[in-house]
Amino acid sequence: MAQQIASELLIERLADWGVDTVFGLPGDGINGIMEGLRRHQDRVKFVLVHHEEAAAFMATAYAKATGKLGVCLSTSGPGAIHLLNGLYDAKLDHMPVLAITGMQETSVLGTGYQQEVHTDKLFMDVAEYNLVVDNPAQLPGVVDIAIRTALARRGVAHLSFPNDVQVADADEDPYQHVAPARPPATAPIYLPPPGRARTEDLETAAAVLNAGEKIAILAGVGALHARDEVLAVADRLGAPVIKTLSGKAVIPDDSEYAVGGIGLLGTRPGENLVEDCDTLFMIGTNFPYTQHLPQPGKVKVVQIEADPTRAGLRMPTEVPVIGDAKESLQALIPLLTRKSDRGHLEKYQKDMAKWRSEMEDLENPKRSPIAPQYPMGVIDDLAADDAILTCDSGTIATWAARHWTIRGDRRFYLSGNLATMAPGLPYALGIQHAFPGRQVIAYVGDGGFAMLMAEFLTAVRAGLPIKVVINNNSSLGQILWEQMVLGYPEFGVRFPSPVADFAAWATACGGYGAKVDNPKKVEGAIKEALAFNGPAIVDIDVDPNEPPLPGKVAYDQAKKFTQAFLKGQPHKVAIATTLFKDKIEQLKR
């Protein structure tokens, strides 16, 4: 039997923590760790990817979808650098991820050796725990500390292993001990803090909420596990529920309490509710776009927040309640008095019914070029009630926010606070690994897909039946409209001809591919893709001049939009024509 090496202590400890999957890309900076994975492949699966950034996205998505630790692995130097964007996604969305990187052997550090990048310094900002392991005696103790820190602080932990430490004997302890201490003897256990808020805070919160007459609930990602409780509170208070984009799955979109979102991707009823309410109840959200929140002092604010540093961060808060959303709401509900007057709620139910009709009108199957709302509507109609949709950042996020209906056990994931391009495809792979029996669909733009499209080949080789629908407008659509809203004509945001054919890439990889430029073929192509026993891509050429207008257009936004036209917006006729078509569809009812 081979002598146990230090890397085995790492892999064994990951398995003890319940880690079953590591996403990564090998290199000569982690050959020892790869050997540890080979020797323990019966306990921990290594998923080979094509780019380290994708590995970090997969680990982040795995953590988001499972609530467990996500783990990614890269070699030293350039491999570790590639991880960073995906790790910042985890950091900003507060997801527990462990990043493991290699480093040059200790005897050459500081000499300018090939690929010598001091990853502990590189990762200082992104990581809550950050350590170069330079003695096998530190293992497995520092692995426990790193994982426990990632789970407790909801962030990234980073362990870097020099090459010689990786392959050292597992029981090697090369240095004389001079401190009155020994290496940590720890256990692979994490005990979360109690989640119930203090009774006095809950009582004060209940008093404010019971006194409110026009209450709005703003629920975020921190309430995803508290659907029943949020609905119960909404019923007692007669309160419509606004959902942040990352919190879209908190309650079903067809719920009588749901009014969609707020912000640029939100709904008109959601925006009106913010202006109309006298009490705002924020649950599990740190919504950053304060321009779309009530003016400070205009409303009473109650907030349930797990992290004390984020309580009252966006709005002055009468009652900051520190605790887990589910446990705290369970204790709060008996303190709330059910409001008999349902007029406030009924007003927004009517407004929301009208909004839904307007959104349905925009899913016009006859429009040519294809309206981008239509493919998303088709996906919504055909997908399973427990399907998981991943999404990139950009205009596709607007179409998904408004046309992907949360019902049953559907879920929705995207890069919330980093709002980076390209995570939709690797997110789908990471989540499909976690839930092999569920339908996982990536809804992405051509810009984001092109960045990490090699990971579709990863899906084919791994036998992951993900479905990818590409909203192909041959442009960086969100940036285009952001330029115009600033009053500037678009510049540098449309890709020149030819239009990419990503379906050809799908078939070249061995998957299903369909290229669609006729609205009559959209539904059939998506049906075939969903039925295909393997990875599939449907690449749909959509109207690039469809603006993702806010739910409620402000005067200043309309003014700047007009200024862009007057300054020489190059596609103003096509854009005006598209806006006219949208209005016609809404007026048909």
- Strands 241-243 and 156-162 turn out to be unpaired
Tokens of 220: 């975020």
From-to residues of CATH 3.40.50.970 in the chain: 6-166, 363-587
Topology of domain 6-166, per CATH?
Answer: Rossmann fold (3.40.50)
CA angle 554, 559, 561 (to 5 degrees): 95
Strand, helix or coil for residue 243: strand
Which phi and psi (to 5°) does residue 109 adopt?
-65, 135
pLDDT in tens, the chain (589 residues): 679 999 999 999 999 999 999 999 999 999 999 999 999 999 999 999 999 999 999 999 999 999 999 999 999 999 999 999 999 999 999 999 999 999 999 888 888 888 889 999 999 999 999 999 999 999 999 999 999 999 999 999 999 999 999 999 999 888 888 888 888 889 999 999 889 999 999 999 999 999 999 999 999 999 999 999 999 999 999 999 999 999 999 999 999 999 999 988 999 999 999 999 999 999 999 999 999 999 999 999 999 999 999 988 898 998 899 999 999 999 999 999 999 999 999 999 999 999 999 999 999 999 999 999 999 999 999 999 999 999 999 999 999 999 999 999 999 999 999 999 999 999 999 999 999 999 999 999 999 999 999 999 999 999 999 999 999 999 998 888 888 888 888 899 999 999 999 999 999 999 999 999 999 999 999 999 999 999 999 999 999 998 887 777 665 766 676 677 777 777 777 776 666 556 555 555 5
Q: Give the distance between the most distant pair of CA atoms in the chain.
A: 83
DSSP annotation string for 139-170: TTHHHHHHHHHHHHHTSEEEEEEEHHHHTSBT
Tokens of 82: 């590639």
CATH architecture of 363-587: 3-Layer(aba) Sandwich (3.40)
Q: Which residues pair with 280 in a beta bridge?
A: 216, 301
Please tell me the predicted confidence (pLDDT) of residue 242.
98
Distance from C-alpha of 280 to C-alpha of 557, rounded to nearest angstrom: 26
Q: Is the Cα torsion angle 97, 102, 107, 113 positive or negative in sign?
A: negative
Please tell me the predicted confidence (pLDDT) of residue 301.
97
The CATH number of the domain covering residues in 199-350: 3.40.50.1220
Distance from C-alpha of 379 to C-alpha of 152, rounded to nearest angstrom: 37
CA angle 185, 74, 50 (to 5 degrees): 145
Please tell me the predicted confidence (pLDDT) of residue 586.
53
Asked if residue 280 lies in contact with residue 290, where contact means CB atoms within 8 angstroms, the answer is: no
Which residues contact residue 224 at a Cβ distance below 8 angstroms, ignoring those fewer than 6 apart? 247, 249, 250, 284
Distance from C-alpha of 38 to C-alpha of 28, rounded to nearest angstrom: 15
Torsion of CA 303, 309, 315, 320, to 10 degrees: 30
Which residues contact residue 243 at a Cβ distance below 8 angstroms, ignoring those fewer than 6 apart? 218, 219, 220, 250, 251, 258, 260, 261
Tokens of 109: 């550090």
Please tell me the predicted confidence (pLDDT) of residue 570.
79
Please tell me the predicted confidence (pLDDT) of residue 101.
98
